[in-house]
Structure formats: C-alpha cells, structure tokens
Structure 1
Amino acid sequence: MSIAPDADTIIVGAGPAGMACAIELAAAGCRVIVLDMQPSPGGQIFRALETNMQARPGADELLSALGPSYKAGLALVTRFRATPGIDYRPGTTVWDLRADGTVGWLKGDAAGYLRAPHVVVASGAMERPAPFPGWTLPGVMTAGAVQTLLKAGRLKPNGRIVLAGTGPLIFLLADQLRRLGVRPALIARTDGAWDKVAALGRLRPAGLPALLKGLGWLLRLRLAGVTMRTGISGLEAHGHDHIESVRLTVAGSRIELPCDLLVVHDGIVPSTDLAHAAGLALAWRADDGSWQPVTMPDGRAEMAPGPT
C-alpha cells in the first residue's frame, strides 16, 4: 500500500533561496512545506529582520549599521508570509533525509517523518573554521557568530577587537561595527598581494558590483583609521580563562597585541550534511577546498554510485 505524500515539495531552509523557491512553487499550484530551524524566515542573511523592523525606532541604529541590503530582504519575507499554499514550519530541525523523499524532523519534544516526491535542499552554507593555537578560548568567535549576536541579540562588542582571516565577510562586519561606533584595533588579512593579482584574472563583469561594494568597505575603513595588515600568518590566541592577547607574524616579524575579542573568518563552504545523508554524489572543488552536490543540467541532484 502506497503512502500519500504530505506535500508536492518539501523545502529545507527558509533563507533567501528557500523562500524564493517556495513562492514560485506555490504560485504554480504546488503544495509546499518549508522546514526551518530558525524562529523566523530569513536565514543567515536576513536573520531576525522582521523582529528588528518591528522594534523601530529602538533598532534604527542597528538597521542603519547593517545597511540597505539587509532591510531590502523584508519584501521577500513579506511575500513569503503572504503566499497561499506554503506550509511554513519554523523552529524545526531536519535530522534525516532519504533518497525516496522521506524527511525526518524534530521540533521541541515532537518528532516524525514527512514525505514528498520532491525535496529541495536550501540549507545554505557554513563558515569554515580553521584550528589554530588558542582557538577554543572564550572571546574567540567567528564572523558569522558575531553577526548573529548583532542581528538576533542586538548586541555589539566592546574592548580591543581584532579581526583575522580572509573573505568579504571580514570587511562587511568591520564596516558594520564601524557604523555602530566600534572601531576594530586591527584587521589581519591572511591574503597577500599575490592573491589579489591572481584574483584579477578570474574577475568577470558580473562580479564588478560586488567588487565595488568591497572597495567601498575598504575605503571607509581606511578613512576611519582602522589598521590593516596583509599576508599575516602564525595566528595564536593567548589567555587564561579568556583571550587576553593575539600573536601573529607580519612581514616576517612576530608581534603580540592585547585583545578582548578575536573574530576569525576563513570563508564559507556549502552545508552538505543533508546531501550526504541522502546519498547524493558530492564533487570536490579544489578552487575553494570544499564539497558540493553534483547536479544534472535541470538542477536535479545525482545519486552517489553504489557499491560494486
């Protein structure tokens, strides 16, 4: 006896991609269930957007610091909420995904399974933490974690702050902190001059707006007097029950700086835990050192080859 599906499509994740997919499918007449572990839609990019907008004018300083791109997500969130045919289930953790479209879920003390002929995995990306001496000390955080505290907790750090790593999120966060009146003591970049030259060869016209936005962050940080160093290595965090200083190598010299908060970021990688659980084929991307699901030209995921 066959079991009737619970929906035409189950979407895992209510970030920008998951919301946009749900809207399009529901508009086409599909029954859609959206499962998301967060309490409200938006994902990491638009985290707590509705709450912060409702808290105005108390949240105006934060909204101004996060910039227009953050507030622009409200149109998508509003449309997602208003679209008929979307069964949105927040606060729900997906812990199992099977190749036949069975999805295991957990919410509070309740748990169960849902089934659909189609499942869309929109679980996004995750930061790639790189271990270094002292990385488990209290006061060492990733850039994404600090952004979570800004958006969801309306908290801002104080004291001597060092940002270390590479990628645009470091500069975006530093500029947001600057707007909140928090000036980092140092931005320690692990990329060097040669990395910038090599990256120019991969630049495409579609990437120019993002490049110009990044240059704007750098310019504003420079004008604010934020110190930056490139090509740093040998990062270490030191302290007893919390971070007290950082050590690093700059231009061949070993230096130590007092530090109350060390923010690290080494890029993001696709979140592949559910894809792996479903037995999907994964391909290694040597250019950024990550795995990603293998998809067909129509977007469907390929299954990993079975044992021979």
Structure 2
Amino acid sequence: MTQSNIPPYDADVIIVGCGPAGMTAAVELVQAGCSVIILDMQPTPGGQIFRNLEANLRDSSPSGQTLLAALGPAYKAGAELIQRFRTSRGIDHRPQTTVWEVRPDGTVGWLQGMNAGYVRGRQVLLAHGAMERPVPFPGWTLPGVMTAGGVQTLLKAGHLKPTGNVVLIGTGPLLLLLANQLHQLGIKPALIGRTDRFADALSGVSHLRPGGLLSLIKGVRWIARLKAAGVKSVTGLKDLAAHGHRKVEAISFTVNGRQQTQACDLLIVHDGIVPSIDIPNSAGLRLQWDDANASWRPDTTFDG
C-alpha cells in the first residue's frame, strides 16, 4: 500500500469501553490535548460498575431511592466521574456501538444498529473490562440459574428483584456484596454457599497489600451483617448441581463430606472474574497464562 492510500486518522486515541477506566482515560487524554473517540456497547457511560447510574440518580420514587441505598455509596460515587466525562470537550462518545475488529494499524471495526464502518486512531486503548468466570456444573443451563453480574444488571438497569428461595453459590467479594444488596432490598437469601474455606482466607491475608485493608474490613462487615440477619451460610461447598424440570427447583451440594439439598427458585453463581480476551486475541496480541488466576491475559509491558 502506498503512502497516499493509507486512510487518515480519525482521532489520536480510540478507546474501547466506557466504564470507569475508559472514562478516566478519555478525560485525561483530552486534557492533554488529544482527540478521542470512545466506543461502548451500552447506551450510557458507566460500564458494569456504574451501570444506569444517571437514570437511577434521577429516580426520586421510593423504590428508586431504596435501590440506590441498597447499591451503596460506592455505586453513587461514580456520578462525579460521569459528570467529568460528560462535560469534557473533545470526547466523541459513541454509545450502543459494538467493536468487532481491531487491527494492528489502529483500525477499529464498529457496528451500531444497522450501520457499520471503521475508524482509525494513532493509538487504540482497550478498556472493555472483565467477564465472570464460567464454571459448568450439572444443571447449569436450567432457567433460573444466573451469574451475580447478570442479577446486578437486572437490578441496576431493570429494577427487577428476585422472589422465592434465592441461593448464592461461589466465591469472591461480588457474591457477598450482592447478598447484602438483596438483603437491603428485603430479599433474604435462603443460603450463601462459599466454595472457599476459612483456611483459604487466612492464607490469603499474608499476600494482602496495605491498600486492600479497607476492602477486607468491608467484606468482614458484609459477612457479619448477613450472619446477624440469620442468613444461612456454609463454606467449603463442593459438587454443586441444579435440579428441576422446566426451571431450577432445588440444588444439591457437599459440605464436609455430607451431601445436602436446598429448595431453590433462583441460583446465583459467581466464581470470580477473568480478563476479557476476545478483542486482544482477535487483534493478534500475545496472550500469557496467569497461573495464579488460572486464566489468560494480554502479555503487556509494565505500563500496559
């Protein structure tokens, strides 16, 4: 290809993803004098963390205020960042846009409704987040089995609340956060089953960095609050299986070598999050196996 045939740049930087990282990067880049195009699948900025925050803040109804209180101050704290993003001049925000291709020369293929095309940047910044780790188990495809992130999306964007026997199974802070949010919405989980053990938590403390102490304290408070509310909890859960005909009706599992069953109308599972590698992989970036997290991640330099 001759120099004259090379398509011009549409922006200095193209950002994929409009969550906290993408918004922060966009604001700082335009402040540094760069032109920015930011592509995101969602209709409003915020990503999964601050999903639908602007609309929820405008909802003055009792149910809307109850939801905001349940989602907590960390969710509402995103309002300042979204406001800075909205008012920063020079950001070309393109919502409801799916990125389906990223080329090494900075060309990005996009799809918005029935329209499709390409944009090209001097640099491409991937800020499209992570995904929940999928862990298959018997009955995992039954209706009524959902991930924690999926339930949070329905809460934030759809104002939908589960009913009946709600069971949460898995590990990690999101599981406990969601259990607390549901409890504050008047939904008492029938069971929280953690696949980790107390010994695992103790061994992890030795790797705790000073910055993580506040998060640890917050997690301990969640556990204490749920225990005080009488929510049944077990640790070291194994051999999870969901049972039912047209939807999940019960689950079975093993704790300390003893098999147990639990009636269940909604099974919420969460086994942590892993990097979303679909775009880096399709762009030809080298991937590296992260043994500690048992997942693939882009092989990057220290500065990303």
After TM superposition, the score normalised by the length of structure 2 is 0.97
In the TM superposition, residue 291 of structure 1 has moved relative to its aligned partner by 1.2
Q: 1:235 aligns with which of 228, 240, 259?
A: 240
State how 1:296-307 maps to structure 2 within 5 Å. Answer: 296-299=301-304
Q: 2:65 maps to what in 1?
A: 60
Question: In terms of mean alpha carbon deviation, does 286-295 or 39-48 score higher?
Answer: 286-295
Aligned pair 1:220/2:187, yes or no?
no
Q: For residues 235-280 of structure 1, what are the alpha-carbon distances to aligned partners after superposition, in whole Å with 9 as ceiling and x for unaligned?
A: 0000000000000011211111111000000000011111111111
Structure 2 letter corresponding to 1:233: K
Q: How many residue pairs get matched?
A: 299
What's the offset of the Cα at 1:204?
1.6
Report what 1:31 is aligned to: 35
Q: Does 1:102 align with 2:128?
A: no
Per the alignment, residue 265 of structure 1 pairs with 270
1:198 aligns with 2:185: no
Residue 36 of structure 1 aligns with an amino acid whose one-letter code is: D
Cα gap change, 1:298/1:267 in structure 2, threshold over 3 Å: closer, same or farther?
Answer: closer
Distance 1:297 1:248 in 2: 42
- Structure 1 residue corresponding to 2:186, chosen from 181, 187, 193: 181
Quote the Cα distance in structure 1 between the aligned partners of 2:61 and 2:75: 16
Deviations 1:149-183 (A, max 9, x none): 00000111110011000000000000000100000
> Which residue in 1 is equivalent to 2:13?
9
Residue in 2 that maps onto 1:279: 284
Q: Quick one: which amino acid aligns to residue 182 of structure 1? A: I
Partners in 2 of 1:229 and 1:122 — Cα distance?
A: 36
Give, as a single letter, the amino acid of the residue that structure 2 aligns with 1:7: A
In structure 1, distance between residues paired with 2:60 and 2:275 = 34
Aligned-partner SS, 1:76: helix
User: 1:39, 1:105 → 2: CA distance?
Assistant: 15
Partner of 1:115: 120
Aligned pair 1:127/2:124, yes or no?
Answer: no
Equivalent residue number for residue 25 of structure 2: 21
Q: Where in structure 1 do 4 or more consecutive aligned residues deviate above 6 Å? A: none
Superposed CA deviations along residues 218-241 of structure 1, whole A, max 9, x for unmatched, are 111111111110001000000000
**Percent of pairs identical after alignment?**
59
Separation in 2, partners of 1:298, 1:258: 49
